[in-house]
Every structure is written in C-alpha cells, then in structure tokens.
Amino acid sequence: MRLYALSIFACVLLLAASPAGGLRSHADDAKGNPREMILGKWKLVDPEVEQTIEFSKGGSLKFTTTHLVVNGKKLPLGRKDGRPIEATLKGKYKFTGDETVEGEVENPFRDSDGKTLPLRWTSVSVSKGRLTFEISEEGGEKRKNAYERVK
C-alpha cells in the first residue's frame, strides 16, 4: 500500500513539479536562456487544483499542492477547518537535456524507505509567461501540464 501511495505521489509531483528544460519559447515571447526563464513561481493552469512550483537559482525548488493526480483523477489531500490541506515539498532540479529536467523532492511518506522521490519532466517548454512539460505515468501514458507565471 505504501509503495502504491508513493507511486501516486510521485506521479503527482511529476505532474506538478515541472521544470522546463532546454525550453522552447513561443513565437510571441522573446527568446532567452531557459535556465534563467524558469526561475520564479509558476501556478498550475487548473481551476480544481491549487498547485505551484517555485524554481530558484542554484537548482532548488519548492512544490506546493492541495491534490494528488492518480490515473488522471484529482484526489484532494483533505480538508482542515473547511480549507484544503496543502503539502509543501522542497527539492532540487537540473537540466539534463534540451527538453528534459530531472530532480528530486522530499518524500512526504515518513514510513517509506526513501527520503526523496525522483522527478523527470520531458518535452519541457518555457516562455515569458508559460511553462509546459510532460510526465510519464505507469503504463506509458504521458500527461501534459501547463503553468502560468505568478512572479
């Protein structure tokens, strides 16, 4: 059960935590260095899920979410005092190719074997105001995520 929960959470993080590797900028945005363009805070484009990723110089990231996504289904982490519960995980990221970013985040499951969960984002694209990437799920399906710049 713990392994299943870890797999689910890793998929969510991959869905959410989406650094933009050697990113392609959109035609209407000025071209720039993806490693610089990704810096800052990004919000998932989904009205049902509150999720942000913040990328800092030096390769650190902070991932915050209220939901897990399992097999395309959005599962809330829960509610407390009428508000969604939010999980914040710290981690690291790096560009490993023109369109690939890899990293790791803290493992939220204290009873598991690993202290971190690996992350891998492909088909990464970043522009001045938009970040997109794909996450591979079990079974080989790919899920595309889109984020808008917050700051």
CATH number at residue 55: 2.40.128.280
pLDDT in tens, 51-104: 999 999 999 999 999 987 766 778 888 888 988 889 899 999 999 987 899 999
Domain span holding position 42: 2-149
CA torsion 26→150→36→102, rounded to 10°?
Answer: -90
Report the pLDDT value the prediction gives residue 150, as an integer from 0 to 100.
95
Phi and psi torsions of 94, nearest 5°: -155, 150
- Contact assessment for residue 119 and residue 99, using Cβ atoms and an 8 Å cutoff: no
- Structural domains counted in the chain: 1
| 42 vs 135, higher pLDDT | 42
Q: Which residues contact 105 (CB under 8 A, 6 or more apart)?
A: 13, 17, 61, 63, 89, 90, 91, 116, 117, 119
Report the pLDDT value the prediction gives residue 29, as an integer from 0 to 100.
44
Distance CA 38, CA 125 (A): 9
| 49 vs 8, higher pLDDT | 49
Report the pLDDT value the prediction gives residue 147, as an integer from 0 to 100.
96
